[in-house]
Amino acid sequence: MDRKLLLYLSYDGRDFCGFQAQPDKPNVQMELNRAAEELFGFPCDVTGCSRTDSGVHAKMFCATVAKQGEPGLVTHVSPDRVPRAMCVRLPDSISVYNAMWVPADFHPRYDVVSKEYIYRILVSQQRDPFEIGRAWHFPFPLLSDGVARMDRAARHMIGTRDFSACMAAGSKIKDPTRHVMESGVTRDGDVVTFRIRADGFLYNMVRIIAGTLAVVGTGRIDPDSIPDLLDSLDRTRMGRTAPPEGLYLNRVFYDDSGIPGWHGGDGNG
């Protein structure tokens, strides 16, 4: 029976212009293709679960490996040996931490049930050298109840609706309806974390929501006005698009077919 290898990996997006292969630009897919060819001895097709933008990180990212031009992969390398064997062939900013066989018709992107993203905001007048490129440095003070306001605003995102107001201008997506299952904001010291899980995301959707929540935290947007802003379908009524460095693909969920990722599975996010 034809089968593919499913990889679970994480990566620091600072070194890459996103996941997708691009000529003359560093990207995660190119590095995985190169490492897989070195390991298995022939060119491979590596397919990812998502396209991440330049500078965006992943704590849990899924990708399949098949022999180039074929539906599956035949190899004597066992899945339990693959993570280490891939890691020694990859740059330090990418780590494969799990691998397993899946059917040849499994697709890491189209079979996704939902994804969870987090967005990290460093709220401090001073920069933190250990957070540069890993969080959005937001030097403006939040209200004393700013995080609670942000959390209330985030919870208004839960449900099924047209999220056109949270879609980048010029996007060619025809159906902007998405179902958000979870959305909330927490704080740990100077870092505020926005977490959202949905069945799909529009282009820049999480970053637009994060930028809007930051404005809510400063008091310039009422958290309970969010439903009206969303119903307007008007991008200009939302906040700025937050920069990419605070964004992480945190978890990927598949169905209950036994593939890790369902209800968190073997993810490290």
Radius of gyration of the chain (CA): 19
Separation of alpha carbons 202 and 192, rounded Å: 23
Separation of alpha carbons 214 and 140, rounded Å: 9
Say whether 80 is catalytic.
no
Separation of alpha carbons 50 and 115, rounded Å: 10
Residue in 88, 9, 82 with CA at minimum distance from that of residue 52: 9
Which residue in the list 12, 15, 45, 53 is annotated as catalytic? 53
Separation of alpha carbons 262 and 134, rounded Å: 27
The residues assigned a catalytic role are: 53
